[in-house]
Amino acid sequence: MKVLIVDDSRAMRSVIGRLVKKLGHETVEAGHGREALEKLAGAEHIDIALVDWNMPLMNGLELVQAVRANPVHASLPLLMVTSETEIERVVAAIEAGADEYLMKPFTDQELATKLELALAARANRQA
């Protein structure tokens, strides 16, 4: 499985990337929402995107809205991974189309579980 990690922090992309690779998946990285859309439009097939909220140029919520609005990528599983911890933010992200929401800080196990839940949630919505 190929996982797109969208976060403006290289350090956080590195942390998440190592965990994802440990789970046996490949990673692709983007530093903000616009770059993520470029990656999605490229030749590589992306299976799921892990999306930070606070990023320059295009934030995570805007990215989720853009992905869901594009018929080509609308079925992509999306997992928000962010330090935004208010329930209002979680609701906003889910209403915009995120499949799951993971708050930073998180443990390795929490990331693995949320990754599976996001994939399952999207599969259920598509069924």
Partner 1 sequence: MDGEQLEELMRNIWDAMLLPEAPLEGAPPESCGEDYDLCACVDIVGAWNGVVSVECDEVLAREIARRMFGSEPGAIVEGDLMDAMREVANLIGGNVKGALAGGCALSLPRATRGSESLLLDGGQATACERAFTSEGRRLRVRILQEAEGR
Rounded CA-CA distance 70/57 in Å is: 19
Asked if residue 70 binds partner 1 (CB under 8 A), the reply is: no
The phi, psi pair for 98, rounded to 5°, reads -65, 145
Rounded CA-CA distance 101/82 in Å is: 8
* Amino acid code (one letter) for 97: G
> Among 72, 105, 124, 126, which residue interacts with partner 1 (rule: CB under 8 A)?
105
Asked if residue 35 binds partner 1 (CB under 8 A), the reply is: no
Instruction: Kindly tell me which of 14 and 73 has the beta carbon lying closer to partner 1.
Output: 14
Strand, helix or coil for residue 20: helix
Asked if residue 24 binds partner 1 (CB under 8 A), the reply is: no
Q: Enumerate the β-bridge partners of residue 22.
A: none
Instruction: Kindly tell me which of 72 and 88 has the beta carbon lying closer to partner 1.
Output: 88
Instruction: Kindly tell me which of 55 and 76 has the beta carbon lying closer to partner 1.
Output: 55
Chain residues binding partner 1 by CB under 8 A are 8-12, 14-15, 18, 54-56, 82-86, 88, 104-107
